[in-house]
Amino acid sequence: MTVSAETAPALDELRARASALDAADPLAARRERFVLPDGTVYLDGNSLGALPAAVPAALADAVHRQWGTGLIRSWNEHQWWQAPLRVGDAIGGLLGAAPGQTVAGDSTSVQLFNALTGAARSRPGRRLLLTDPGHFPTDQYIADSVARLVGLEVHRIAADGLPRFLAERGDDVAVAGYSPVDYRTGELHDMAAITCAVQEAGGLMLWDLCHAAGALPVRLDELGVDLAVGCGYKFLSGGPGAPAFTYIARRHQAAFDQPLTGWNGHADPFGLSGDYTPAPGVERARIGTPSILSLLALEAALTAFEGTSMEQIRAKSLSLTGFFIDCADTLLDGLGFTVVTPREPHRRGSQVALRHPDAYPLVRALAARGVIGDMRAPDLLRFGVNALYVSYDDMLTAVRHLREAVTHEEHRDPRFRQRAAVT
Ligand SMILES: *Cc1c(COP(=O)(O)O)cnc(C)c1O
């Protein structure tokens, strides 16, 4: 890559910092637990995690031996039946949730529907369902649908407006559904304060952890969170369409009345009764027969976290995103970019978002250079950072390519302006 004379010393300094930070990184060797193509800088693990090296063999075993040879016997012999709870507990371990409160299966959208409806039913007489106007679309759509079904009113209140709203109408709030991390800007909200405020008003707190699970410590039990959901394919790297999860705090389980009363959640599923009696514990959050192949892929993927802690992952993630912002400040100055992710570490999730009017063609031009991020309409370039496999050198390389792409006006290339089905 070419560098202008004035950026050369700054670039040398950034290069030296990247190599010192990589050399001192206690998680550096974790990258070997992932299969990443050579010459690719992968910064979209907040949308689809990279392939963990343990997954192909686990899937081959699940298909050939467990399914092919074991046939239906594998439901018992390979504990397929217990997989949603086993994988749920493994995820719970990354969320600060003691065993017996987390179940894996279905999609986040389905789990949200189930959890929100169950929460609303547990607060009869209260008429309001709160959600974030900036929440991921599926969360808003499902909030609207649940409200229609249960007879609630949805109020879209931004996280920073919650204290005021709760002070005025808190005693009418049944449930609040929020994400700790804004999926566009990467802003991190104060989970403890929001949970506390909603509960003090008498409502239930449901967190959508799609952008937090596997990215930062969330301490569900310690914060006394009521319910949580999240997906398996982002920072948990469980594969495209990986099973999602639901957390139901133990104190709510016995009364939890979920709408999707599938037979897997029955107290005696093989009694084949015509009447639904929910299982006593978190097993009731099971729905129908789960996708075993996907659960086993996710289970193998989670082994990439073994021997680390979420605190350690968080420390590296913040250091990486901080370094990315430094690189952007130095190398992208005057080129039309704005860093929209908060600079204060405690207000930042595990991504950096940059605003630029040509975000889409720039993301495409970057991909052609081997740097994979994504675009969120209308004008954000989003770079997700999974500290298990991303390096400081990746951060600098990405920003250098972005500088090159924009200075060479690659984003004007009509090839990159054509929208693909998935952006
Ligand atoms: C990624 C994401 C989803 C995805 O839902 P699916 O049902 O898996 O498509 C939902 N909510 C949030 C906040 C997300 O970030």
Q: Tens of pLDDT along 235-275?
A: 999 999 999 999 999 999 999 999 999 999 999 999 999 99
Q: How far apart are CA 129 and CA 203, in angstroms?
A: 9
Minimal-distance CA residue to ligand 1 atom 13 = 136
Out of 34, 233, 235, 245, which one is annotated catalytic? 233
385 close to ligand 1 (CB < 6 Angstrom): no
The amino acid occupying position 376 is: R
pLDDT reported for residue 2: 52
Mean pLDDT, residues 334-357 taken together: 98
| Residue closest to 163 by CA, chosen among 194, 123, 203 | 194
Q: How far apart are CA 61 and CA 241, in angstroms?
A: 20
- Exposed/middle/buried for residue 418 (C-beta within 10 Å: 0-12, 13-18, 19+): exposed
Mean pLDDT, residues 198-224 taken together: 98
Mean pLDDT, residues 223-232 taken together: 98
Phi, psi of 308 (to 5 degrees): -115, 175
Distance 234 CA to ligand 1 centre (A): 9
Mean pLDDT, residues 354-359 taken together: 97
pLDDT reported for residue 126: 98
Mean pLDDT, residues 3-22 taken together: 88
Residue whose CB lies within 8 A of the most ligand 1 atoms, among 185, 231, 237, 382, for a mutation test: 231
Distance 327 CA to ligand 1 centre (A): 30
Mean pLDDT, residues 19-34 taken together: 98
**Does 7 score more than 90 pLDDT?**
no
80 close to ligand 1 (CB < 6 Angstrom): no
Distance 108 CA to ligand 1 centre (A): 6
For residue 50, the number of C-alpha atoms closer than 13 Å in the C-beta half-sphere is 26
109 close to ligand 1 (CB < 6 Angstrom): yes
Phi, psi of 51 (to 5 degrees): -75, 115
Mean pLDDT, residues 382-403 taken together: 98
**Does 420 score more than 90 pLDDT?**
no
- Identify the helix (H) or strand (E) that includes residue 42: strand 41-42
Mean pLDDT, residues 11-23 taken together: 98
Active-site residue flag, 234: yes
210 close to ligand 1 (CB < 6 Angstrom): yes
Mean pLDDT, residues 343-359 taken together: 98
What sign results for the dihedral spanned by CA atoms 389, 393, 399, 402? negative
- The DSSP-derived string for 187-241 is BBP-HHHHHHHHHHTT-EEEEE-TTTTTTS---HHHHT--EEEE-SSSTT---TT
Out of 33, 123, 126, 234, which one is annotated catalytic? 234
Active-site residue flag, 208: yes
**Does 196 score more than 70 pLDDT?**
yes
For the segment 406-416, what is each residue's pLDDT rounded down to a tens digit?
999 999 999 99
Percent of the chain predicted with pLDDT > 70: 99
pLDDT reported for residue 5: 56
Strands 351-355 and 380-384: antiparallel
- Exposed/middle/buried for residue 404 (C-beta within 10 Å: 0-12, 13-18, 19+): middle
Active-site residue flag, 413: no
**Does 37 score more than 60 pLDDT?**
yes
Residue whose CB lies within 8 A of the most ligand 1 atoms, among 111, 114, 131, 136, for a mutation test: 136
208 close to ligand 1 (CB < 6 Angstrom): yes
When pLDDT is cut at 50, 70 and 90, the band that residue 106 belongs to is very high
pLDDT reported for residue 364: 97
Active-site residue flag, 136: yes
* Mean pLDDT (the chain, rounded): 97
**Does 399 score more than 90 pLDDT?**
yes
pLDDT reported for residue 3: 54
When pLDDT is cut at 50, 70 and 90, the band that residue 303 belongs to is very high
Minimal-distance CA residue to ligand 1 atom 5 = 108
DSSP reduced 3-state for 131:
strand
Q: How far is CA 68 from the centre of its chain?
A: 33
